Structure 1
């Protein structure tokens, strides 16, 4: 039980980019193990979540415009995507919060998916090609190009050798995708460009004071609220302790217990900052985990 609490606590302390990395890696490992152990086709599960090129097929699984971004075709595919997400996510989250990060990430995935489907249904070069889209590349590209656009002159250390401005990196990865479209994996590179375009437009609009992700955020919140169970508020018994004056709020004891609880949390956090999380006792870890869930 303590190990389970440790894992949950450490997951809850991760930032939103790291959580997405954990989820992507977990999906990859579970899918790979299930396919290998049960001797299934490689796309046995993936076919329900990958993004098809045809609009008719897409109508039967509309969720795929998001879910395709959580599946990867191989170890190198997920490795480079997650590595790029880790570093670009660090820069992004040093500027903005997690909600805006998710807006850019998922809108990038959607934009990449839309460009993929449009391309394979418009350009004659892709006529008759049977393919589908998987991978977080478009979403990751949206994050990367966002930071490259929002702070283009910021320098970062590349390969531990030299400094380079972010706009050079952004321009470089876009050119690489453009050059590789006629060579291989055209659909993937087109999706990358769709994500990159979203990241660029989002950053430019935000720089001008307009957040184009607010509508998407409201829509997601509305959908989430539909699935939330309505919790009926229990009846509360209000009473006065003996010796208290009439009209004295009944929350005095609650405030005191709340203060004691906060002092204990602060004490534990101080201990973590001085000696690390592993220095906590089992009771302290359990208390901190439960306090985090209540907050």
Structure 2
């Protein structure tokens, strides 16, 4: 995946010094660390039992275990699943934290994970889903909206690459529909796009990397929520073996 941000002088705030570009994406790394910690617990307890304990098992969700819509997003189905999701999230999350404020990354990820779970529940009420893909697709969708709302600062190639990535993910999902939760992906895309339409400023003189106190606090709460969800997932996974 290759992205190019157009160098324009219309807004100096949008062009940080070279040393500041693509610094450590702290929220991205924290969320990926949560994925890895939960996956390690899964391999210790066994993938099958761990999914039964904390996965998004929809019949159990409908019986009152509502926390599963979030714990399911913290679990993964194997090494390839966690690898590709972590790689994709690092690539897009790093870009997100450069172009926008990291607080919105945590908010988008959490809301998109929930939105993807809800859409999946509506269309696949008897299924089981695990993985952070809905949240990750929300981040990708947010970036696509950013690329069009802030078009004066990004290149056509940037927009093209984002749309190609979204299209590839959807096509790949439809080909492997038996093992991929496409409704979870679509739900995440919708939530991330809607959030981006509301939050990303169209005014070229407003820096999207700035966040007021309310947004920064909401971002910390969203991040803390997923950390707590991950810790709870690990507890659920390991508790039968303790």
Aligned to 2:90: 86
Q: In 1, distance between residues paired with 2:26 and 2:79?
A: 23
Aligned to 1:149: 145
Unaligned runs of 5+ in 2: 1-23, 203-210, 226-242
Shift of 1:29: 1.6
Is 1:197 the counterpart of 2:197? The answer is no
Change (3 A) 1:169 1:49: same
Shift of 1:111: 0.5
Aligned to 1:24: 35
Is 1:115 the counterpart of 2:119? The answer is yes
Query: Which deviations, in whole Å up to 9, do the C-alpha atoms of 1:66-105 show, x marking residues without a partner?
Result: 1111110011111111111101111111133332211100
Change (3 A) 1:97 1:77: same
Q: In 1, distance between residues paired with 2:170 and 2:25?
A: 31
Query: Which of the two has greater helix per residue?
Result: 2
Aligned to 1:43: 48
Give the TM-score of the pair, scaled to structure 1: 0.55
Q: In 1, distance between residues paired with 2:100 and 2:145?
A: 14
Counterpart mapping for 1:1-295 below 5 A: 15-35=26-46, 42-54=47-59, 57-121=61-125, 130-152=126-148, 153=151, 154-155=154-155, 164-174=157-167, 176-177=169-170, 180-181=173-174, 183-185=176-178, 188-207=181-200, 217=218
Flag the structure with larger Rg: 1
Change (3 A) 1:96 1:169: closer
Q: In 2, distance between residues paired with 1:83 and 1:166?
A: 20
Corresponding residue pairs, total: 187
Q: In 2, distance between residues paired with 1:58 and 1:111?
A: 16
Q: In 2, distance between residues paired with 1:98 and 1:187?
A: 28
Q: Which has the higher contact order (CA 8 A, sep 6+)?
A: 2
